[in-house]
Structure 1
């Protein structure tokens, strides 16, 4: 229901879910409470994604690529519910800041402030996500689907925007190590 109408009332959401209005109201006292619960769930998924991307231990280029794949998956599955910024809890912000500090320490970027890097990444994420599927910027290679083209564009653009020395070799390595998407 939220995919159809982002302003849908709890009553409409209950109807669409085939539930009695009272059932939904017992669980969520208001529409805001429902959206807060969705944001909390999304935040937990972001924290799990940071862990699965091995932000602390994997080579930082690989971690950035893998995390970006997961973020696009989350954006697709939660597009209807909340803005991704609602899920940016301190744990998520800390994980992103750590990743950008590691990228800087590895010489992949020269931007010194991880918080600035995170803000650039999130702004570019929004812009790449908003591109129409037929955008020339997303022209996928023979082996990349549209989502992978978005991931590659975001990683490449983020590293370039942060004054990276990205020459494509790290992205190729990350693509080779990334699991095949079905």
Structure 2
């Protein structure tokens, strides 16, 4: 094995171990939010020393899970094509994807919430993607609000509130509990709140 191959192999092994730890953490913490790093190590099938080497504390693990969620948000922005699709279509698709993500990652989102903002901290890349979408909505005449940071705050607040609705809430209409019903409610509410004056089906 060459001199360069060994460090690459070690990095690959470390990345695989980290991925196993994070996957195990998602599963374990979804069942028991107070689970220790030791329990997560057991679930990952790794030595406890390995987990402690990757994550020195529970706080470090939660920070890594926050980073993982931000990667998923970025994936959602890419799938919604916020930079190229018609902005209204991109907003609706992104909203659907966010509710799907919330359903799949609810426990981790609750653990990584910032008490001040009531949501998981967003990376600069995710924030930039959201602001781009609302800037495009403004340029297309779909909204009148000009402050993109304000638009993002309103959007995320409505997503959060819609996600908290019970499955039988009258706000969700006939498709109570469905991702589509929550996405539709959020989409219409956000456009109206930000000065949209067009009818969207």
Fold conserved between structures, TM > 0.5: yes
Residue 54 of structure 1 aligns with which residue?
81
Specify which structure has the higher proportion of helix.
2
Residue 88 of structure 1 aligns with which residue?
122
Q: Which has the higher contact order (CA 8 A, sep 6+)?
A: 1
Q: Does 1:151 align with 2:183?
A: yes
Q: CA contact under 8 A between 2:87 and 2:133: conserved in structure 1?
A: yes
Distance 1:119 1:41, change over 3 A: same
Cα root mean square deviation, aligned: 2.0
Higher mean C-alpha displacement, 95-104 vs 17-26: 17-26
Of residues 60, 69, 76, the one that matches 2:103 is 76
The higher radius of gyration belongs to 2
Q: CA contact under 8 A between 2:99 and 2:179: conserved in structure 1?
A: yes
How many corresponding residue pairs?
167
Shift of 1:51: 1.5
Of residues 19, 24, 38, the one that matches 1:11 is 38
Q: Deviations over 1:70-125 (max 9, x none)?
A: 11122122211134643511111111011111111111111111110000000111
SS in 1 for 2:198: coil
Distance 1:123 1:145, change over 3 A: closer
CA distance in 1, matches of 2:174, 2:142: 24
Residue 154 of structure 2 aligns with which residue?
120
Q: CA contact under 8 A between 2:166 and 2:177: conserved in structure 1?
A: no
